[in-house]
Structure 1
Amino acid sequence: MNFALTPEQEELKTTTRRFLSQRLPTNMVRKTMETDAPIAVDVWRAMAVELGIAGLMVPESAGGLGLGFVEAACILHEVGRAVAPLPFLVTSVLGVELLTQGDQKEPAIATTLEGIANGTVVLGLMGGSVEDPLLPCGTWTPSGASAESRFVLDGTQATHLLVTLTSETGPVLVLLPTNTPGVRITHETTLDLTRPMAHVELTTAKATIVLNVPELRRAHESFGSFASASIAQDMVGGAERVLEMSVSYAKDRHQFGRPIGGFQAVKHRLADMLVDVESAKSTALYAAFTMDDHTDDRAIAASTAKSVCGDAFFRVAAASIQVHGGIGFTWEHDAHLYFKRAKADQILFGNGPLHRRRLAGLLGIV
């Protein structure tokens, strides 16, 4: 397995980084997250039209690019680096992964995939747990869906919802537009304001089944690994940017007539941060390649990446506040955006202890 990105993949990262730095710098991120619907929808639609990124993994038959997970990982890295309030993770990666396992000839699924590709659709992922969004959160009957969840990823600005429900025969995944009668959405205030969540209630809302009982059970087996490998890339991007900010500040900030980066305590802290970032990069990249190559150890690689990257990002973000000193403790400094994103990402799709227990099982240790 070759772990080097191709020139095309490197260019994809470079182009996305340039776009986000111009359209969504951190001052714009702050303005967006302080609104009642904290997703930069205009930027998202521009990304879809100008870069075609929204439909990166959407099949070509539905108007997308039909690319793989490694290409998506390149974008996830840059979105995390910019702490961008964009729906790429849920809509273009996790949502597409689930929708394409259903019947793509089904009109509701086909239309949704086309909408994702052109940037007009934003998906919300609604389940029974932030650790496992494919756990049921309500019931499904022929008359409609009835459910409630307080932590629906990207639910505030969602045009459509993917919801896991319990039917008479077992769990099913359904799709419904948010303008369907019986849908009530309220914005939730959470720790990480750059990754919005919503409180969603469904009352006998009409929906289309995307995955029936056996299909959802098969999808559920691999979805946890797919989600973990995805969020790992986001965390590596954020950790990388935090390290860059810290090194730059340590060079520019002078104390006692010399840069603070020249003092042993700061120098060693920065070195520890570098080790964390590079270790996280390696595990996340390996997990990304296993997703595309469908290797036997993809579950091991994904849980390793989620555990290592989650802890590394949090340590790096916390250390960055210390390096920045007094200014780092102020809300106005960008270090806090990354610190809160790091803590929220640690929990999303399972924290470190959960994934280490999973690894112990997969490796036959317990």
Structure 2
Amino acid sequence: MAAPSLLYSEVEDDLRASVRALLADRSPWNAVLARCETDQPYDTSVWKSLAADLGCAGLAIPEKAGGAGASWREAAVVAEEVGRAVTPVPFLTSSVIATAAVLALQESAQAAEIGDLLERLAAGRTAAVLAVPFSSAPDAAFSKALLSDAPFSNTVRADDAGRLSGAVTSVADARVADLFIVPATASAGPALFVVDADAAGVTLDAATSLDLTRPLADLTFTEATGRQLASNDAAMTALSRALSTGAAVLASEQLGIAEACLELSVSYLKTRYQFARPIGSYQALKHRAADLWASVAQARAVARYAAACVADDDPDAPVAVALAQAYCSGVAVRAAEECVQFHGGIGFTWEHPAHLYLKRAKSDSIALGTASRHRAALGRLVDLPAAT
């Protein structure tokens, strides 16, 4: 198979321009910060414009299912812009992770319900969230690490009538979800259920979240009625595909964070004067900025490759995803930290956007598997011997 192109297509450039213009107009950083100071960080009107009016919610959904018929490459471009603007919308969780899980089930026995769910997701009428801890790595799907790893108690069980009971901690964007896709253990084995967010027996408690623009919540199911979407191998494949696709697209969000932090830093270095000269003219700061630029350029390459691999269902996708998360999460955190440092005293203030990027970068570095976990997975995938 030929190596995918890492260049942005004309369509992707046009999509980027549209999304960037929307977010710059409707979700500037000062508006994001103002909403974070309230109990309603999400701007549902911005989400409607992004998901429905621009059609971003259905980018990866086939046209026959009501979507745009594009791919995860285009979704990754949107994720870049969402990261660049630290916009509080459930694009990653609903339009990527949950959608990837549903797409993997198109050939299942519940094809009619899957088709209806895809149409609702594509139209932006429904926001769905996969009910797993936001830290779940792709290789944690239906393993003990996902279901009962300390210090969490993320076990959901289903009885023969499809009633779900259990709890899941640290679920991202649960507060704006219309429905949850819930991995559960049934009598016949692992299964995926869909549960309406307002169903009886579903309770949601806010969890402490570092990232104010992507709040976490703990879910509790008490004999909540669910509709089974898949079981056994189909359910395990769908969950693994969702987490893997999410990790690939998350790398593009991390790239967007790093790009925004680099741009903020360079702009400040050019305009802030000390001793009658711009601080960017000092060699030490120039070297740090140049090193950061090189890291961002490398992050762009690995993020683009990961998005292309999951879009094309490339056999190299597991390696590309592990590599992207092993590298991009660190670059995003470093870029945000440097942004704070370059700005000096103002960079530590609440009134400057640097802390929004730092918190999103730090949160993203844990999401869908830490860099160290992905490095370990990468070592296994390429048959590197374990350290002794």
Give runs of aligned pairs for residues 137-286 of structure 1, distance below 5 A: 137-143=155-161, 144-286=163-305
**Which residue is equivalent to 1:310?**
329
Following superposition, the deviation at residue 314 of structure 1 comes to: 0.6
Q: Deviations over 1:257-292 (max 9, x none)?
A: 000000112111111211111111111011111112
Letter in 1 for 2:69: G
Following superposition, the deviation at residue 100 of structure 1 comes to: 1.7
Which range is displaced more, 163-172 or 275-284? 163-172
SS, match of residue 228 in structure 2: strand
Segments of structure 1 that go 5 or more residues without pairing to the other structure are none
**Which residue is equivalent to 1:116?**
121
Following superposition, the deviation at residue 120 of structure 1 comes to: 2.2
Q: Deviations over 1:215-274 (max 9, x none)?
A: 022234444432211110000001001000000000110000000000112111111211
Q: Deviations over 1:2-40 (max 9, x none)?
A: 222211111111111111101111112113333324322
Query: Separation in 2 of the partners of 1:193 and 1:31?
Result: 11
Report the aligned-residue RMSD. Answer: 1.7
Following superposition, the deviation at residue 128 of structure 1 comes to: 5.2
**Which residue is equivalent to 1:44?**
47
The answer on whether the counterparts of 2:134 and 2:172 sit within 8 Å (CA) in structure 1 is: no
Letter in 2 for 1:22: D
Segments of structure 2 that go 5 or more residues without pairing to the other structure are 148-154
Q: CA, structure 1 residues 253+129, in 2 after alignment: closer, same or farther (shift >3 Å)?
A: closer
- Which of 5, 15, 18 is matched with 2:18 structurally? 15
Which range is displaced more, 131-140 or 275-284? 131-140
Please say if 1:85 is aligned against 2:82: no
Q: CA, structure 1 residues 291+109, in 2 after alignment: closer, same or farther (shift >3 Å)?
A: same
Q: What is the number of equivalent residue pairs in this alignment?
A: 366
Q: Deviations over 1:150-179 (max 9, x none)?
A: 211110111101111111222211111111
- Which of 56, 60, 65 is matched with 1:57 structurally? 60
Letter in 1 for 2:298: S
Q: CA, structure 1 residues 244+355, in 2 after alignment: closer, same or farther (shift >3 Å)?
A: same
Following superposition, the deviation at residue 193 of structure 1 comes to: 0.8
TM-score, normalised via structure 1 length: 0.95
**Which residue is equivalent to 2:367?**
348
Q: Percent identity at matched positions? A: 37
Query: Separation in 2 of the partners of 1:93 and 1:224?
Result: 9
SS, match of residue 198 in structure 1: strand
The answer on whether the counterparts of 2:57 and 2:121 sit within 8 Å (CA) in structure 1 is: yes
